[in-house]
Structure formats: structure tokens, C-alpha cells
Chains A and B, each alone.
Chain A
Amino acid sequence: MARADEVVIEIEDAVVSYREDVALRGVSLTVRRGEFVGIIGPNGAGKTTLLTLVNGLGRLLSGRVRVLGKPLAPRNAHHIRTRVGYVAQVQDIDPRMPITVREVVMIGRYGRLGPFHRPTQADRDVVERMIELVGMSPLADRPIGHLSGGEQQRTAIARALAQEPDIFLLDEPTAFLDWRAQREILDLVQEIHRRQRLTTLFVTHDLNALPRCDRVVLMKDGLIQGEGRAGAVLRNEVLSELYGTPITLIEHAGRQVVLS
């Protein structure tokens, strides 16, 4: 049985480069099972690259990455990915794309099933449960391209959860969504974390979402600049320095609210 304080992600001195640009220049991060970690920082800070290290899509120049107790290497990356759920920003999907919400969520089972295995009743049950969990049951038979951005993100979350993952990666899942959809997706993510104690890494530009995180990691120029609880991070001088622009916080209804 997994221990609560077990380290599930261990990144040591990771250096990643794409073409001429160095995306990560020596990043170390340890995440324990059940943690909800927010990752913030300006564009190009290396936040997405950090996530791609965890699901084996990033190429390590030097350093070490251990995920779920195993060193990440090209030969076991597929296997590790089946245990890591990943939700990116809302995608531009052709409205005519011939695939339904239910089929998209079922894709989450495909990696685990492996080739030549067809989904069983147990797989279909998991899929229905996850569709229900994200509140998409009434829309399950609709073509995915017909849905709003918020609904597509719910579907993406259900797909990632259908993997029954040990780690959940969210890369700006609320980008491009309207206010209500942003709130609903954040509530959903938090609810999932609360219920399943699923280890979650959450990249966001929405600083007002940070109080939902157990810990916040600050990234800039391919480095981790610091980390701490949301309360310690949500300060004028910390955020202004991170983003290189004056950021003001005010207190409203007992919590810090970020003004730009």
C-alpha cells in the first residue's frame, strides 16, 4: 500500500533544451503523494517543460528524473505515461471531428489496455463513472467538437482520470475559458484532489487559484526561484519580482485577491 509521504516525483538538477534555447537550467523538485502543487511564472519560464519531464515527453540533457519510484527512460516512458493523466489548454477541435465525448474519455483507457485488447465492461464502467464525475453524462454521446471550451476541458479531465492515474498534470487548463467555466474547472480539479488525494501538478497564470494549492512553485528563466505555501507567495513583492511588473494584492472577504 502506498504511504502518504511517499515521494512520487523526484527531479534532480534537470537540464532540458529545445534547439538553441535552454528550457530548464538545473531544476530540482520533489513531490510527495497526494500533494497539490501549483506552478506559476512568466511565459517561457519552463513550466510546461517541467510537466513534460514528469510524463516522459521532455528530453533530458542532464540530471535525473524518477517518477513513481522508477527512473524515467525512453523504454519505460510509455508505461509511465499510462499512469500519468495530462490535461493541456483547451484544444482547437474541428466541429466535424467524428468522435464523441464517450469515445474521447475511452482513449484514456487505451494506453493501459495496450494493443490487441478491446475495452471490457470494467473499462466502460470506469469511463461512465468519470463522465458522471465531471458532469458530462447528458452530453456523453455528442461529438466533441460541438462542445464549449469548458465542456471540452471537462471531457479532457474525465479522459485523464479514466487512466486511473497516480499523477495528474494540468497545464493551464483554464486558459481561454470564460469566468464561469474557469471557476467550474478549478472547483472540479480541487474536488477531485480532495476526494482522491491524487498527486496534482497545476500550471497556471490564474494567481487567484493559488490558495487551492498545498504548495506553490515559482519559476523564471528555466529555474525554480522559490516555493512555499500560497500565503507566503501571494505577496506584492514576490509576485512583482517574479513577473517583472508591479502586481498589487488586496484583501477581500478574508483572502488575498490579485490585481494586475
Chain B
Amino acid sequence: MGILQYRFMQNAILAAFLGGVACSTVGVFVVMMRISFIGVCLSHAAFAGALLGALVGFNPVVGAFAFSLLAAAVIGPLADRGEFNPDTAIGILFSLMLGLAFLFMGLMPGPRTQALGLLWGSILTVTNADLILLAVVCASVVALVVLFFKEIQAVTFHREVAMAVGIPASAIFYALLFLTGATITASFRTIGGLLIFSLIINPAAAAYQLTYSMKRLFCLSALFGVLSGWLGLLISYLFNIPSGAVIIVVSTLIFAVATIFSPKRKVKGLSNVGTGFSSAAD
């Protein structure tokens, strides 16, 4: 248990917990609403915003937050209108953000240590300010999910249905995009701008394979998110390899295992028979 005695390791473990819970919770929205591409776009926008901050000299967190909100404001109405598939527009925005990120990086003078740090993240050097931001975002995400569980359940199930029964579905949808942007902003310094999205989507996608209860989906997703972070840290400590990358590999492995052992795989086979009655246990 030598791993626990270092101050930086204690911070990293705490950061992995907070980031794991926050990312995997907003991941549930993203997976349920099938908007992973929007999530990827938001995280790259945050990355570009952070790099702009690093280039011009303001706090990268502020840049990341501003850019991801801006991207959400552009994408939200496209996805919300629902009249056409917003994939093309999101694709354009996504590539623009990636282009801007590399442009800002290219404009930076000298060694680009800070930029590369933002790209890959550095969970072993989290500051107290990072931890506080992560804690605030994590607590807000969890509190909002508890408070608005029924609205979130309705909107993530079916936006038009939620709207038709009188739930302010658009407001909830924008709030979920906003929360996703805030979570990405708070965690990208620890996980890294390029890798953050795996920690959002993998735990939730893994949990989605395993349960038919949305409450359990949130809990399992958070569990997988934290597990990915902690196992990744342990492995990166033992073999002295980059932590962010290991965390992503671990979360992908969890997803693969969950998919292989998913009770829902049987359902797919059975539903082809056409009975509509399959006995997949939860």
C-alpha cells in the first residue's frame, strides 16, 4: 500500500473518484440520448478553448468552459429542432474545434509543455484548485440528477414524449448539455482533452449493457468510472506508464467485458423470433 503514502497520489485518487463520478454520470445522459458525437464535439471545444487560454494568457479552465458552452449553444438548437439529422453540422463544428486547437498550439512559442499537458492530462499533478473545481462540479451533477431524476428520465427516454406531457424538455436538454460541458471543463486537466471523452462514454455504455433500471444505470456507471480511474492509477504507478492513457484502456476493457456478459445480448437473439417476450433477467 506504498502507493497511498504520497501526497500527489492521494490527490490523484481523490481526483479519479470525483472525475470518475462526474464524467460517468453525464455519460448516462449522453449514452441514453445517443448524442455521443455531440459529447465528443463538446470535449474538443473545451480543449480548443483551454489552448486559447494558454496561448493568450488567461486561465485555460475559463477558456474551456466558454468554448464548450459556446459549442453547446450552437449544437443544442440543431439537435433540438429534430427536423433533420444534425450530424453534418456537428461534424463541421468538431473539425473546426480540432483545427483551432492545433492552430493555437502551433502559435505557441517555445516548448509546448502546457499544451501537451492539456492534451494528455496529468492526474499526478492535480492542484488543490483542480480538486475543488472537480468536487463542486461532481456534487452539482449528482445533486441535479437526484433533484431532477424524473425529468431526466423522461427526457432521456424520449424528448418528444417528455415535451408532450408538459415537461420543459428543451430546458432540461440544454441543462444536460451544459452539465456535460461543465464536467468536461472540470476534468480535462486531470484526464486530458483528448482522452476525457472515453471516461464519459465508456462507463455509461458498459452499465447500459447490464441493467434495465435507470437508477442502477447511474450507480453502475459511477462505479465503473471510479474503478477505471483507480485501476488505471494503480497500473500506471506499477508499470510507470501514462495514467490518462491507462485509465482509458481500463474503461474500454470494462465496457468490453460488460458487453460480452450482457444479459441484453440474449434479448437481441430472441426478439428476432418475434414473440416480443424475452426473459432477459436484470
Which A residues have a C-beta under 8 Å from some C-beta of B? 18-19, 55, 57, 78-84, 86, 88, 91, 93, 95-100, 103-104, 106-108, 110-113, 115-116, 118-119, 143, 146-148, 151, 156, 159-160, 163
Q: Which chain A residues lie closer than 8 Å to B167 at the CB level?
A: 78, 110-111
Which residue of chain B has its CB nearest to the CB of A77?
Answer: B166
Query: A95–B161 contact, CB under 8 A?
Result: no
Cβ contacts A to B, 27 pairs, < 8 Å: A19-B83, A78-B168, A80-B166, A83-B166, A86-B165, A95-B264, A96-B208, A96-B209, A96-B264, A99-B157, A99-B214, A107-B153, A107-B154, A107-B157, A107-B161, A107-B165, A108-B165, A110-B162, A112-B166, A113-B150, A115-B148, A116-B147, A143-B280, A146-B267, A156-B161, A160-B165, A163-B166
Is B217 part of the binding interface, using a Cβ–Cβ cutoff of 8 Å? Answer: yes
Given the known A-B contacts A81-B164, A86-B164, A96-B208, are A110 and B151 also in contact in the complex, defined by CB atoms under 8 Å?
yes
Partner of A98, one of B154, B165, B217, B277: B217
Q: Which 3 A-B pairs have the closest CB atoms?
A: A111-B166, A82-B166, A148-B276
Q: How many B residues have CB within 8 A of the partner chain?
A: 35
A202 to chain B, nearest CB (A): 16
Is B211 part of the binding interface, using a Cβ–Cβ cutoff of 8 Å? Answer: yes
Is B87 part of the binding interface, using a Cβ–Cβ cutoff of 8 Å? Answer: no
Query: A79–B166 contact, CB under 8 A?
Result: yes
Q: Which chain B residues lie closer than 8 Å to A106 at the CB level?
A: 150
Total contacts A-B at CB 8 Å: 95
Which residue of chain A has its CB nearest to the CB of B274?
Answer: A148
A99, B157: Cα distance in complex, Å: 8
Q: Which chain B residues lie closer than 8 Å to A80 at the CB level?
A: 166
Q: Which of B32, B83, B150, B162 has the most CB of A within 10 A?
A: B150
Query: A159–B166 contact, CB under 8 A?
Result: no
A154 to chain B, nearest CB (A): 12
Is B112 part of the binding interface, using a Cβ–Cβ cutoff of 8 Å? Answer: no
Partner of B268, one of A95, A143, A151, A163: A95
Q: Which chain A residues lie closer than 8 Å to B264 at the CB level?
A: 95-96
Query: A18–B267 contact, CB under 8 A?
Result: no
A77 to chain B, nearest CB (A): 9
Query: B165–A163 contact, CB under 8 A?
Result: yes
Q: Which chain A residues lie closer than 8 Å to B211 at the CB level?
A: 98
Is B271 part of the binding interface, using a Cβ–Cβ cutoff of 8 Å? Answer: yes
Q: Which chain B residues lie closer than 8 Å to A95 at the CB level?
A: 264, 267-268, 271
A18, B153: Cα distance in complex, Å: 29
Within 8 A of A (CB), among B185-218: 208-209, 211-214, 216-217
Query: B165–A110 contact, CB under 8 A?
Result: yes
Q: Which chain A residues lie closer than 8 Å to B161 at the CB level?
A: 107, 156, 159
Which residue of chain B has its CB nearest to the CB of A81?
Answer: B166
Which residue of chain B has its CB nearest to the CB of A150?
Answer: B276
A114, B118: Cα distance in complex, Å: 41
Q: Which chain B residues lie closer than 8 Å to A147 at the CB level?
A: 276
Q: Which of A18, A88, A97, A108 has the most CB of B within 10 A?
A: A97
Query: B271–A55 contact, CB under 8 A?
Result: no
A115, B267: Cα distance in complex, Å: 35
Q: Which chain A residues lie closer than 8 Å to B32 at the CB level?
A: 97-98
A143, B279: Cα distance in complex, Å: 10
B199 to chain A, nearest CB (A): 21
A115, B165: Cα distance in complex, Å: 13
